[in-house]
Amino acid sequence: MTVKRLLALPLLGVLLAGCGIRATEVPTDFGAAPSRVHCSLTGPGVSSEASLGVPVQVFLLCGSSLVAVDRTVRVPDGAADSRRRVLVAQGLLDQLAQTPSASEEEAGYTTDVRGGMAVSGPGPKDPEDALRLSTPPGELTSYALAQIVCTFSDSAAAEGDGSVVLGGPGGEPPRRYECTDEVRSRPGTKEPPSTEVAGD
């Protein structure tokens, strides 16, 4: 009787093993975990209450990418083109530094641009389309630089070719920065490509 039981154990083990879920070597990828950040506004933005001003778009951070939101900036009538560019750039900078509205925060929007930064026109040896920031571009975080470059290059502050010439407060030559698809999708790891601009 004992011998029969011993012989039956291996057979029982094989039968039980067949009832389980077999391992598979086929990789399964169900994508990233769902995120609560939806980057879609359900309410008015910060500047929607402003009845006067030039309609613009600024790039805020949402998730790990840049997303354009509508804003307005005030520009005095009759301003010369060169002065107008600086005024628009300062207005954009102020909008970027502004705390997102309640609806924007709920949608997951943030900004890495800090307040108190100023922008001025070109220096004596700069190209006429250059803008000088009070903080050197090299000292900005990659997120803040991407926000500023993409916002400026897509506005009246730039020449409309998808790039913007930026410098700091010192005498170092400005650089021409570009807002690319990679920068918009990965501002934290992909800095805006730039080239040095020769002065006059």
* pLDDT tens figures, 135-148: 999 999 999 999 99
Q: Are 178 and 193 in contact (CB under 8 A)?
A: yes
Residue 161: half-sphere exposure toward Cβ, Cα within 13 Å: 7
pLDDT in tens, 75-133: 877 777 778 889 999 999 999 999 999 999 999 999 999 999 999 999 998 999 999 99
Tokens standing for residue 137: 């571009």
Is pLDDT of 48 > 70?
no
What is the pTM assigned to this prediction? 0.76
> In this structure, are residues 139 and 170 in contact, taking their beta carbons and an 8 Å threshold?
no
- The beta-strand segments (E) located in 100-167 are 109-110, 119-120, 130-133, 163-167
Pairing verdict, β 65-73 and 109-110: unpaired
Q: Is 113 helix (H, G, I), strand (E, B) or coil?
A: coil
Percent of the chain's residues with pLDDT above 70 = 74
Helix (H) or strand (E) holding 194: strand 194-196
